Amino acid sequence: MTINDIAARTGFAASTVSRALSRPGRVNRVTRERIQAAARELNYVPNVPARALSSGRTATVAVLVSDVTNPFYFGLIRGAQHELRAAGYAQMLVDTEDSPELETRLLSTVRQSVDGVILAASRLPGRAIIGITAELPVVTVNRNAPGVRSVVIDSPDGVMQAVEHLISLGHRQVVYVAGPSCSWANEARWRAMRTAMAKHGLAATRIGPFGASRRSGSAAADALLNTGATACIAFNDLIAIGILRRLGERGVDVPGEISVVGCDDIFGADFCSPPLTTLAAPVEQAGRVAVSMLLEQNLAVRASRRNVILPTHLTVRQSSGRAPRR
């Protein structure tokens, strides 16, 4: 079932068939209809690799995530999937396993097979990302690099809200539980927290870095207790849930003795115990927006919308409360 079969069947040249199918505007109406009818009858489906070879367009976009099992990405992946589907694109999913080296390698191998890349939480240094931009349309998520289009969830603003929340509850010693060291979002959140604390004449402390996983959260909990702080803000919910878990095991009351605030509002944040106070993140929207930016970049339209910032807000649940009297 190729374009040639349709050509033979309808008596048109293959090129006309090609046009009728991929740029219907450029052929006569009756021609188009005859060809499209034949295509339908013969159950014709275009051969993507062949099309890619001659046109350079693969109708495929790669989505790189640092860890597929991190629930944070699922909304993102789904948002991207939806938007891609609507535009007739396929999604190649790539797990970089939190490794900059692997990320680089995979990026170079997919380069030829995709029309663009969405870099979600890239672990690459900024210059590397800029380098890729030269070869391929790129949109980053939760990551900024000069000249690279991005959609970032405004967690720094959320972190400020979280700090205000904790301070209003009487907390004075709040620690930041840091995530992976090469995460851009991690630095952004830490900076926001320092600023917010400073505004109240308080110093923020920091422990970590920790991997973005529940297991790391357990280790973090112990380190946290050693600091004597009455509250913490964790890089993400995975870590926060790990902390909750470990604190529970050690019989530490949350929020009675210590308050825990997470980030991202992932699946589970609302039903862990106690339910986690966290920063809601419009993840699915981020995925959709990233894709639409990537695709309109392909079409070279709208030079606006280079860097989109999506709002967050603090979702207060039961893991945060009044600071204990000391």
Partner DNA sequence: ATGAAAGCGCTAACAT
Partner DNA sequence: ATGTTAGCGCTTTCAT
Q: Which residues bind a second copy (CB under 8 A)?
A: 43, 45-50, 52-53, 58, 60, 68-69, 71, 74-75, 77-78, 81, 85, 90-95, 108-113, 241, 244-245, 267-268, 271-273
Q: How far apart are CA 260 and CA 280, in angstroms?
A: 15
**DSSP 3-state of 99:** coil
Tokens representing 302? 């709208």
Name the minimum Å distance from CB 14 to DNA. 5
Residue whose tokens read 């001659």: 54
Q: Which does 4 bind (CB under 5 to 8 A by kind): a second copy, DNA, none?
A: DNA
Name the minimum Å distance from CB 134 to DNA. 17
Name the minimum Å distance from CB 181 to a second copy. 23
Q: How many residues does the chain have?
A: 326
Nearer to DNA, 24 or 268 (CB): 24
Q: What's at 312, amino acid-wise?
A: T
Chain residues 13-42 in contact with DNA, contact rule CB under 7 A = 13-16, 18-19, 21-22, 26-28, 30-32
Residue 273 in the binding site for DNA (CB under 7 A): no
Contact between 107 and 132 under an 8 Å Cβ cutoff? The reply is: yes
Site for DNA (CB under 7 A): which residue of 8, 33, 41, 55?
55
Instruction: Dihedral sign for Cα 210, 216, 219, 221, please.
Output: positive
Other beta carbons within 10 angstroms of residue 54's beta carbon come to: 8
Q: Which does 60 bind (CB under 5 to 8 A by kind): a second copy, DNA, none?
A: a second copy
Listed residue (63, 65, 74, 68) closest to 268, CA to CA: 74
Residue 12 in the binding site for DNA (CB under 7 A): yes
Listed residue (172, 198, 188, 178) closest to 259, CA to CA: 172
| Upstream peptide bond of 255 is cis (omega within 30 degrees of 0) | yes
Residue 58 in the binding site for DNA (CB under 7 A): no
Nearer to DNA, 7 or 84 (CB): 7
Binding residues for DNA, rule CB under 7 A, total 28
Residues at the site binding DNA, with contacts judged by CB under 7 A: 2-4, 11-16, 18-19, 21-22, 26-28, 30-32, 44, 46-47, 50-51, 53-56
